[in-house]
Amino acid sequence: MPAKMLKNSAFGAQHGTKASSFDFSSYEGVEVFENSDSVIILPGFCDVHVHFREPGFSYKETIKSGSMAAARGGFTDVCTMPNLNPVPDSAENLALQRDIIARDAVIGVHPYGAITVGQRGEALADLAGMAGGVIAFSDDGRGVQSDEVMLAAMKQAKELGKMIVAHCEVNSLLRGGYIHDGEYARAHAHRGICSESEYAQIARDLELAAKVGCAYHVCHVSAKESVELIRQAKRTGVDATCETAPHYLVLDDSDLKEEGRFKMNPPLRSAADREALIEGIKDGTVDMIATDHAPHSAEEKSRGLEGSAFGIVGLETAFPVLYTHLVRGGVLTLDELAALMCHNPRRRFGIECGDSYSVWDIGAEFTVNPDEFLTMGRATPFTGDKLFGVCQKTVYQGKTVWEIK
């Protein structure tokens, strides 16, 4: 099929979006198919929250399989969380992960360093020793329970010019819960996770961040109270940002089924929470969308809502889910979605896009089939859904890393 060169000024005119939000000058020479109003180019997405499981848990995911799944989803940079074995809490442990990334990654993979030794929340990890090789510091998967430890971490992170990226969860408020403490939990006799377990720690951290003046980012915001706390903190000048995930924007606890593919942490909350998140992305309180891609084995996700491991996969469905529900649904423009998935996370985390982009047929409809995923994980709440948007090609720094043959 003949192709033509896409000029910077041609993007908006041909595809109905504004090029002014992004510098498309580096995309000159990108191939797009002629005679198609639905084939567009987007800058490479950046996901600041993924779990690639290697080293330590390569039966769930590897750097290679995770980065290939990311490329198929249009992502050209991702940030990997530190719940690994060994935990990257020292330069020595971090080097093990970085060696695998250098060998196997097909896109940009940027590791986090742990905030505390072993992610146990007690003693600070070797933040200074890791600073040159990590994107930021996080204990994702666990909230830092000690006020004193978090305060010390923020102070040192500020000195090092690094951001604290926090999984906010108060352990004493979990009470054995595993889905949202809402109507579905009560109707089906499940133990619930209250929203306060999230927003109470966000409130603490925002107060500490204001005191220290460090850069602070909140992972996977899910509750309406969390959105309001972050909104108010930004108004007072706190250097805070946050992310949410696709599933929190398009699903709520009324969509739950008695299957492990609907279990994640934080859980799907109420319709009111979902609406608050949408309002948050529209008014700029919620800065970006990240997948929290968290693959597990089939057996680990086969034990229903109560017994399954927390976590779902999302790299290969993120853009189609968001494009179908939010852009086609009239909630966001395509430009706004691109900002949430590319421009905003790159600006906050200092990750350049360079010569990285993806080509999408946004008119192509498909049915989500996890058996076709490149990730080793298969658990997604979107199984069987009909979505729009097929990634035809992904280029990372000038090299094609995914293409439909």
In 3D space, the residue among 295, 325, 324, 328 whose CA is nearest the CA of residue 309 turns out to be: 295
Beta strands in 112-188 (DSSP E): 164-166, 179-180
- Which amino acid type is present at position 315? L
Helix (H, G, I), strand (E, B) or coil at 242: strand
Count of beta carbons in the 10 Å neighbourhood of residue 369? 11
In 3D space, the residue among 120, 78, 115, 80 whose CA is nearest the CA of residue 96 turns out to be: 80
Cβ atoms 114, 82 nearer than 8 A: yes
Beta strands in 45-155 (DSSP E): 45-50, 75-80, 108-111
Count of beta carbons in the 10 Å neighbourhood of residue 298? 12
Which residues are 108's β-sheet partners? Answer: 77
In 3D space, the residue among 108, 52, 107, 42 whose CA is nearest the CA of residue 84 turns out to be: 52
Catalytic site includes residue 139: no
The enclosing H or E element of 85 equals none
Q: How far apart, in whole angstroms, are the C-alpha atoms of residue 190 and residue 178?
A: 8
Instruction: Retrieve residue 90's tokens.
Output: 């020292």
Q: How far apart, in whole angstroms, are the C-alpha atoms of residue 234 and residue 219?
A: 16
Cβ atoms 137, 113 nearer than 8 A: yes
With a CB cutoff of 8 Å and minimum separation 6, the contacts of 384 are 367, 368
| Torsion region of 86: left, alpha or beta (phi above 0 gives left; psi -120 to 50 gives alpha) | beta
> Taking the CA of residue 14 as centre, how many other CA atoms within 13 Å lie in the half-sphere pointing to its CB?
18
Q: How far apart, in whole angstroms, are the C-alpha atoms of residue 296 and residue 312?
A: 8
Spot the catalytic one: 77, 140, 253, 292: 292
Burial class (CB in 10 A: 0-12, 13-18, 19+), 136: buried
Q: Which residues are catalytic?
A: 292
